[in-house]
């Protein structure tokens, strides 16, 4: 996903009721990209980092 895609998903009505998920390789700069967009680490394994962005309450723009 690129910046535009994450912003579009975040702005969509579905984001208020659905979490967004991403999987990145450990050590990848993609992790910092997703963290800048509000994702947090849910879990890690030896290869991947599993990230999630929880739904935001209606009317909030975090």
Tens of pLDDT along the chain (62 residues)? 577 777 666 666 555 667 889 999 999 999 999 999 889 999 999 999 999 998 876 545 55
Domain membership of residue 17 (yes or no) is yes
Query: How big is the CA angle at 52 (ends 14 and 13), to the nearest 5 degrees?
Result: 10
Domain membership of residue 61 (yes or no) is no
**How far apart are alpha carbons 34 and 36 in whole angstroms?**
5
Range of the structural domain that residue 43 is part of: 3-53
Domain membership of residue 9 (yes or no) is yes
Other Cβ atoms less than 10 A from the Cβ of 9: the count is 15
- What pLDDT is attached to residue 16? 61
Q: From the DSSP assignment, how many helices (H) and strands (E) are in the chain? A: 2, 3
Task: Tell me the whole-structure pTM to 2 decimals.
Answer: 0.71
- Phi, psi for 27 (deg, rounded to 5): 85, -5
Number of domains in the chain: 1
Domain membership of residue 58 (yes or no) is no
- What pLDDT is attached to residue 10? 64
Task: Answer left, alpha or beta for residue 59, where phi above 0 means left and psi between -120 and 50 means alpha.
Answer: left
- What pLDDT is attached to residue 5? 72
């Amino acid at each position: 996903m690129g910046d535009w895609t994450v912003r579009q998903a975040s702005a969509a009505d579905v984001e208020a009721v659905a979490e967004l998920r991403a999987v990145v390789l450990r050590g990848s700069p993609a992790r910092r990209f997703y963290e800048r967009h509000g994702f947090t680490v849910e879990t890690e394994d030896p290869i991947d980092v599993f990230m999630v962005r929880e739904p935001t309450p209606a009317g909030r723009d975090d």
